[in-house]
Structure 1
């Protein structure tokens, strides 16, 4: 029953993984809406910034983004005389949220554009401003359509947290590697880690399903 002794350090790492997932998913959702809506803006500057953000973070590796924020950004700050060093947890959350936000922004944009154009015409007939039409007509219909893709992105984000172990942040993957180096018991340790990631993914899936069901009431109320 030697594997029982592995559980305490692995659970400590799992808690860090859970915190990273929660913080980065919430912040990533905010980025998704900000830049997804921004891409549809009629203001060319806002639209250009949003497109640039989406293309950069979707077109580059999350690992490179993480390393850039943690290793390269402080050097940039040093060159301009500003301390831009980030603690590992901040760098990890920021990299994960910026990455998931870029993919989520396209989900938001697509869902908003999928709203029937008649809805916008009706809002215009009621003298709604473009902002009122967006927040009172389009988004209540679009958000339920976003939930399944957002659920998939949240699961992907959970799995991507393993990359933060490469900047010495003590998540589940980092703790597992520490144990493996100390005990050389790769099979037992990584089998436990597989089941722990799978368990966390099941819980996250269930939570996203509950949220999807709750938000789905908006669709039913609109009919």
Structure 2
């Protein structure tokens, strides 16, 4: 047991470096997915029928396609480098993982934005029309400021989900905590290390993600006061 504990301690810096990559991938995926998802969600509330249907179709596709399939598809579809204006821009695996994991976030945010906007009472729309405000002014100045607090609790909860899903990036060659743990076990070649190592990795994710559940509940309680 002492040898296993010593091995875990020795490999902790490498695991911490790998977990930092998990966090970077998660933040990147949530940032891209949140911005694009909000645009798609607002498009579903558009007065233009073609835009509503198009955004609905995008949402349904991204919500009902496994994130791992999207991740593999983008990893092999996107090139390793892009040549632009005489420059060679590399596309590393972690960047592909960010794009791949942002896809389900887009569908998630689209549904939440659509629902939050629909949840605003019709009197708010009538009051904005009476001022009169344009559709853009109504959405940006009246509707979205009231809808945004509804989005925060589920966004926090889904961020924790994406952090846990970021471990799938190891399957496309990204050096994150799971791949670092695999390297550690291959280096030591001790079968007794497998369960403690994976449990140690589980603890990293649990310690990071568990506070988000409390923050989410606190935000939900505050919202309904």
Q: CA deviation at 1:103?
A: 1.0
Point out the more displaced range, 24-33 or 105-114.
24-33
Task: Find 2:12's aligned residue among 4, 7, 12.
Answer: 7
- Does residue 180 (structure 1) correspond to residue 188 (structure 2)? The answer is no
Distance in 2, matches of 1:93 and 1:128, equals: 38
C-alpha contact (below 8 Å) 2:157/2:212 kept by paired residues: no
Aligned to 1:66: 71
Aligned to 2:116: 111
- Does residue 16 (structure 1) correspond to residue 24 (structure 2)? The answer is no
Evaluate the alpha carbon distance shift between residue 55 and residue 84 of structure 1 in structure 2; reply closer, same or farther with a 3 A threshold: farther
Structure 1: gaps spanning 5 or more residues:
78-82
Secondary structure in structure 2 of the residue aligned to 1:169: coil
Distance in 1, matches of 2:16 and 2:78, equals: 31
Distance in 1, matches of 2:166 and 2:32, equals: 14
Q: CA deviation at 1:4?
A: 0.7
- Does residue 92 (structure 1) correspond to residue 97 (structure 2)? The answer is yes
Instruction: Give deviations 1:80-123, integer Å, cap 9, x for gaps.
Output: xxx99842111100011121111111001000000000010011
Q: CA deviation at 1:72?
A: 3.2
Secondary structure in structure 2 of the residue aligned to 1:42: coil
Q: CA deviation at 1:49?
A: 2.8
Task: Find 1:200's aligned residue among 197, 202, 208.
Answer: 208
Where do residues 1-223 of structure 1 align in structure 2 (5 Å cutoff)?
Answer: 1-2=5-6, 3-74=8-79, 86-183=91-188, 184=190, 185-204=193-212, 212=219
Evaluate the alpha carbon distance shift between residue 66 and residue 157 of structure 1 in structure 2; reply closer, same or farther with a 3 A threshold: same
C-alpha contact (below 8 Å) 1:70/1:86 kept by paired residues: no
Distance in 2, matches of 1:207 and 1:177, equals: 32
Q: CA deviation at 1:5?
A: 0.7
The number of equivalent residue pairs is 210
TM-score, length of structure 1 as denominator length: 0.84
Structure 2: gaps spanning 5 or more residues:
83-87
Distance in 2, matches of 1:86 and 1:209, equals: 38
Secondary structure in structure 1 of the residue aligned to 2:141: helix
Aligned to 2:85: none
Distance in 1, matches of 2:198 and 2:211, equals: 20
Distance in 2, matches of 1:199 and 1:15, equals: 14
Secondary structure in structure 1 of the residue aligned to 2:174: coil
Structure 1 vs Structure 2 CA RMSD = 2.5
Evaluate the alpha carbon distance shift between residue 84 and residue 70 of structure 1 in structure 2; reply closer, same or farther with a 3 A threshold: farther
Q: CA deviation at 1:73?
A: 4.3
TM-score, length of structure 2 as denominator length: 0.84
